[in-house]
Amino acid sequence: MNQPTVSPPKAPVAPIQWMRNNLFNTWYNSLLTLAVGYLLVTSAAPLLNWVFLDATFSGESPSDCVGEGACWLFINQRLNFFIYGFYPEDQQWRINLMFGLLALSFIPQFIEGFPARRWLGIFGMTGLPILGYILIPGGSFGLESVPSHRWGGLMLTLILAYVGIFAALPIGILLALGRRSHMPVIRGFCVVFIEVWRAVPLITVLFMASVMLPLFLPEGMNFEKLLRALIGITLWQSAYMAEVVRGGLQAIPRGQYEAASALGLGYWKKMGLIILPQALKLVIPGIVNTFIALFKDTTLVLIIGLFDVLGAVQSTVTDPAWQNVAIEGYVFVAFCFWVFCFGMSRYSQNLERKLDTGHRT
Amino acid sequence: MSETTSQITPARAKPWNDPRVRSLVFQLVAIAGVMWGGWTLVDNTLANMEARGISTGFGFLEQSAGFGIIMSLIPYEATDSYGRTFWVGLLNTLLVSGLGIVAATLLGFMIGVARLSSNWLIAKLSLAYIEIIRNIPLLLQIFFWYFAVLRNLPSPRQSVELGGLFFLNNRGFYLPDPIALPGFGWVELALAIAIASVIALRIWAKRRQQATGQIFPTGKVSLAILVTLPVLAFLATGAPLDWTVPELRGFNFRGGITIIPELAALWVALSLYTASFIAEIVRSGILSVSKGQTEAARALGLRQGLTLRLVVIPQAMRVIIPPLTSQYLNLVKNSSLATAIGYPDLVSVFMGTTLNQTGQAVEVVAMTMAVYLTISLLISFVMNLYNRAVALKER
Task: Note the pLDDT tens digit of each residue in B74-88.
Answer: 888 878 888 888 898
Length of chain B as a residue count: 395
Give residue B100's pLDDT band: very low, low, confident or very high (50, 70, 90).
Answer: very high
| Chain A residues whose beta carbon lies within 8 Å of the beta carbon of residue B31 | 185
CB contact under 8 A, A186 and B30: yes
Give the separation between CA B322 and CA B138, rounded to whole angstroms. Answer: 22
Residue B395 has a pLDDT of 54
Is residue B89 within 8 A of residue B350, CB to CB? The reply is yes
Q: What is the dihedral of CA B330, A332, A42, B135, to 10 degrees?
A: -30
Give residue B331's pLDDT band: very low, low, confident or very high (50, 70, 90).
Answer: very high
Write down the domain spans for chain A. 71-87+146-354
In sequence order, the 6+-apart residues with CB closer than 8 A to the CB of A301 are A156, A160, A206, A229, A308, A311
Averaged pLDDT for residues B87-102: 92
Q: What is the greatest pairwise CA distance in chain B?
A: 111
Q: What is the dihedral of CA A116, A118, A120, A123, to 10 degrees?
A: -140
Residue A327 has a pLDDT of 83
pLDDT tens per residue across span B16-52: 777 788 888 888 998 999 999 989 888 888 888 777 7
Give the separation between CA B130 and CA B111, rounded to whole angstroms. Answer: 8
Give the separation between CA B92 and CA B374, rounded to whole angstroms. Answer: 16
- Judge whether B143 is closer than 8 Å to chain A, CB to CB: yes
Residue B118, in any domain of the structure? yes
Residue A282 has a pLDDT of 84
Give the separation between CA B270 and CA B119, rounded to whole angstroms. Answer: 28
C-alpha to C-alpha distances, A127 to A107, A122, A272, B201, nearest whole angstrom: 16, 8, 22, 71
Please tell me which residue, B320 or A320, carries the higher pLDDT value.
B320
CA atoms B220, B226, B231, B236: torsion sign? positive
| Dihedral pair phi/psi, residue B243, rounded to 5° | -120, 135
By CA distance, what is A28's nearest residue in B? B119
CB contact under 8 A, B334 and A201: yes
B366-382: b (≥16 Cβ within 10 Å) or e: ebbbebbeebbeebbee
CB contact under 8 A, B120 and A22: yes
Residue closest to B155 by CA, chosen among B241, B61, B273, B252:
B252
pLDDT tens per residue across span A9-26: 777 778 888 887 777 877
Give residue B8's pLDDT band: very low, low, confident or very high (50, 70, 90).
Answer: low
| Chain B residues whose beta carbon lies within 8 Å of the beta carbon of residue A29 | 117-119
Mutation pick from B45, B111, B120, B135 vs chain A, by most beta carbons of A within 10 Å, is: B135
To 10 degrees, what angle do helices B184-212 and B218-236 make?
160
Task: Report yes or no on whether pTM surpasses 0.80.
Answer: yes
pLDDT tens per residue across span B228-272: 888 888 888 877 777 777 777 777 777 777 888 889 999 999 999
Q: What angle do CA B225, B386, B193 make, to 5 degrees?
A: 20
**Cross-strand pairs, B253:** B248
H helices of chain A, in order, are 15-22, 27-48, 72-84, 92-106, 117-125, 127-135, 153-179, 184-199, 202-207, 213-216, 225-251, 254-262, 267-269, 276-282, 284-297, 309-317, 326-356
CB contact under 8 A, A299 and B140: yes
Element of type H or E holding A300: none
Residue A241 has a pLDDT of 92
Give the separation between CA B248 and CA B347, rounded to whole angstroms. Answer: 33
Facing B143 at nearest CB: one of A1, A214, A330:
A330
B381 pLDDT above the threshold of 60: yes
* Position B248, amino acid: L
Residue B19, in any domain of the structure? no
Give the separation between CA B11 and CA A129, rounded to whole angstroms. Answer: 49
Residue B94 has a pLDDT of 92
B1 pLDDT above the threshold of 70: no
In sequence order, the 6+-apart residues with CB closer than 8 A to the CB of B226 are B191, B194, B195, B198
CB contact under 8 A, B118 and A338: no
- Judge whether B326 is closer than 8 Å to chain A, CB to CB: no
Averaged pLDDT for residues B158-177: 79
Residue A360 has a pLDDT of 42
Residue B11 has a pLDDT of 65
CB contact under 8 A, B121 and A33: yes
In sequence order, the 6+-apart residues with CB closer than 8 A to the CB of B274 are B100, B101, B104, B108, B327, B330, B331, B334
Residue A30: is it exposed, middle or buried by C-beta count within 10 angstroms (0-12/13-18/19+)? middle
How many pairs of residues across A and B have Cβ atoms under 8 Å apart? Answer: 148
Under CATH, domain A71-87+146-354 is a member of which superfamily? MetI-like (1.10.3720.10)
Residue B67, in any domain of the structure? no
Is residue A310 within 8 A of residue B140, CB to CB? The reply is yes
pLDDT tens per residue across span B353-370: 888 888 778 888 888 889
A220 CA: distance to closest CA in chain B (Å): 10
pLDDT tens per residue across span A32-59: 888 888 888 888 888 888 887 777 777 7
- Judge whether B365 is closer than 8 Å to chain A, CB to CB: yes
Complex prediction ipTM: 0.86
Residue B116, in any domain of the structure? yes
Range of the domain at B341: 82-157+262-390
| Domain CATH for B104 | 1.10.3720.10
Give the separation between CA A177 and CA A171, rounded to whole angstroms. Answer: 10
Residue B199, in any domain of the structure? no
By CA distance, what is A31's nearest residue in B? B119
Give the separation between CA A133 and CA B121, rounded to whole angstroms. Answer: 50
Residue B8, in any domain of the structure? no
A282-310: b (≥16 Cβ within 10 Å) or e: bbbbbbbbbbbbbbbbbbbbbbbebbbbb
Give the separation between CA A145 and CA A140, rounded to whole angstroms. Answer: 8
In sequence order, the 6+-apart residues with CB closer than 8 A to the CB of A88 are A144, A146, A150
Low-confidence ranges of chain A (pLDDT < 70): 1-5, 219-222, 356-361
Give the separation between CA B145 and CA B142, rounded to whole angstroms. Answer: 5
Is residue B188 within 8 A of residue B219, CB to CB? The reply is no
By CA distance, what is A327's nearest residue in B? B148
The total of structural domains in chain B comes to 1
